[in-house]
Amino acid sequence: MFKRIRLIILIGVFLSLIPCHKHVTANRAESQVNDLLLKDYDLISVYFGPKNNLSEQLIKLINLSEKNIYGAFYSLRLFKVASALIDAKNRGVKVHLVMDNGRINSRRSQYALLRKHISINVTRQPRGLMHNKFCVFDNKVIWTGSYNPTYNGTYYNNNNAVVINSEILAKDFINEFRRISGSENYKDYRRQTAENEIAVFFSKKDNCKQRIIQLLNSAEKSICFASFIFTDKDIAKVIISKHNKGIKITGVMEKGMDSFWNMFSFFRHVGIDVKWDRNYSHQMHHKVFIIDKRIIITGSFNPTFSAHKLNWENIVVIDDVALATRFMDEIKNL
């Protein structure tokens, strides 16, 4: 336990002393899953698409909500998700949405349908994206990760979604929603960023890039990663430095993002075991680092200049050996 705390201290997190919950797996019998209430979700759940239908998992949470939903969507193109949100509004749930201005008029965007029923905040900034993909349900259950509710995102792309049952962290996500949407209710307070072995950070405020660098620097045995796009030289230098010190590095990157600025060739040049993904017709959309087979970094943050300086993003840091094993198994199969 001391080792866990020491690692998390590196990123300035104070771990709360709330008793630890068991971790749910995505392998419950379907009848059990269908009978869940929001309060029944364990501290951490993880799902991987497309083998798990992420839209169905998201819709379950929408349908279980009784009080309110806060949703920040970079791209929302799936009609059945939009329909579930409208149904929630019609049964009395307070639905609050913020979407990226550059995506609301894109092909198959559900913005026009949603705005007929739900008041939507649209981010307006000269540069950068509202790149989050998170929801908070009834002030306690958080949905976040790499998944955009689109057709390809659901049925073809490799994604992850993490569900966290924590009123402490839900408050942080709701406050972040208010910051993104320009709400008068946003409070710039020093947040309680952790519960047990989970911490959360937001771009333009918490310096997600520096948090990632600090955690990578703490690696003693291994770093495993899956990256949709990787152009940040500072993060790449840390990985190369760790490789040169004998730390085992393995990675998978999205072939479709190959370019002069992508770090793939730099990694290969120094002998790092990095491969292109095998989802040739669609996208490997993960943004994941796993450190020493126990520390997971996931969320919406790609290691790029835009994610660091311009975009609205989030990262979640989880200290859990069993969960890390599941993420590593996912990466091995990419």
Task: Please tell me the least confidently modeled range out of 12-16, 230-234, 272-276, 309-313.
Answer: 12-16
Q: Which pLDDT belongs to residue 10?
A: 42
Is the backbone of residue 15 left (phi > 0), alpha (psi -120 to 50) or beta?
Answer: beta
Please give the Cα distance from 166 to 141 (Å, whole number): 6
In this structure, what are the phi and psi dihedrals at residue 26, rounded to the nearest 5 degrees?
-85, 15
Is 208-332 CATH 3.30.870.10? Answer: yes
Sign of the C-alpha dihedral, residues 62, 154, 142, 24? Answer: positive
Are residues 312 and 173 in contact, defined by beta-carbon separation less than 8 angstroms? no
Task: Check whether 62 has a pLDDT greater than 50.
Answer: yes
Computed from CA positions of residues 6, 24, 209, 171, in that sequence, does the dihedral angle turn out positive or negative? Answer: negative
Question: Per mean pLDDT, which range of 3-17, 177-191, 241-255, 319-333 is the poorest?
Answer: 3-17
Q: Tokens 């690696």 identify what position?
A: 219
Query: How do residues 219-229 score in pLDDT, each as one tens digit?
Result: 999 999 999 99
Q: Does 18-198 match 208-332 in CATH topology?
A: yes
β-pairing, 194-195 with 120-123?
unpaired
Hey, where are the domains in the chain?
18-198, 208-332
Note the pLDDT tens digit of each residue in 15-36: 332 223 333 333 333 334 455 7
What average pLDDT does this structure show over 285-299?
98
Q: C-alpha angle with apex 160: 332 to 255, nearest 5 degrees?
A: 55
Lowest mean pLDDT among 51-55, 105-109, 134-138, 282-286: 105-109
What is the pLDDT confidence band of residue 76, given thresholds at 50, 70 and 90? very high
More confident residue, 130 or 23: 130
Neighbours of 111 (CB within 10 A): 21
Task: Indicate if the pLDDT at residue 13 is higher than 90.
Answer: no
What pLDDT was estimated at residue 21? Answer: 31
| Per-chain mean pLDDT for the chain | 89
Is the CB of residue 301 less than 8 Å from the CB of residue 208?
yes
pLDDT at 191: 62
Inter-residue contact 218 to 208 (CB < 8 Å): no
Question: Which residue type sits at 106?
Answer: S
> Does the pLDDT of residue 82 top 70, yes or no?
yes
> Could you identify the residue written with the tokens 């911490």?
199
pLDDT above 50 (res 68): yes
Name, in order, each residue with C-beta under 8 angstroms of 3's C-beta and a sequence gap of 6 or more: none
| DSSP secondary structure, 37-59, as one string | -GGGS-SEEEEEETTS-HHHHHH
User: At residue 7, does pLDDT exceed 90?
Assistant: no
Number of alpha carbons in the 13 Å side-chain half-sphere of residue 261: 9
Tell me, what's the pLDDT at 53? 97
What is the DSSP secondary-structure string of 148-195?
-SSHHHHHTSBEEEEEEE-HHHHHHHHHHHHHHHT-TT--------EE
Statement: residue 183 has pLDDT above 60: yes
pLDDT exceeds cutoff 90 at 280:
yes
Q: What percent of the chain has pLDDT over 90?
A: 79
Which amino acid, 113? L
Question: What mean pLDDT do residues 210-226 have?
Answer: 98
Q: What is the pLDDT of residue 38?
A: 87
pLDDT for the residue 2: 31
Neighbours of 87 (CB within 10 A): 15
- Count Cβ atoms within 10 A of the Cβ of residue 29 and give its class: 0-12 exposed, 13-18 middle, 19 or more buried: exposed
Q: What is the mean pLDDT of residues 256-274?
A: 96
pLDDT (0 to 100) of residue 17: 27
Identify the band that residue 14 occupies on the pLDDT scale cut at 50, 70 and 90: very low
pLDDT one-digit tens code per residue, 295-313: 999 999 999 999 999 999 9
* Residue 118 one-letter amino acid: I
Decide if 314 contacts 201 (C-beta within 8 A): yes
CA–CA distance from 87 to each of 75, 96, 176 (Å)?
20, 13, 25
The residues facing 49 across adjacent strands are 159
The helix/strand/coil state of 63 is helix
CB 319 within 8 A of CB 218: no
CATH superfamily, domain at 18-198: Endonuclease Chain A (3.30.870.10)
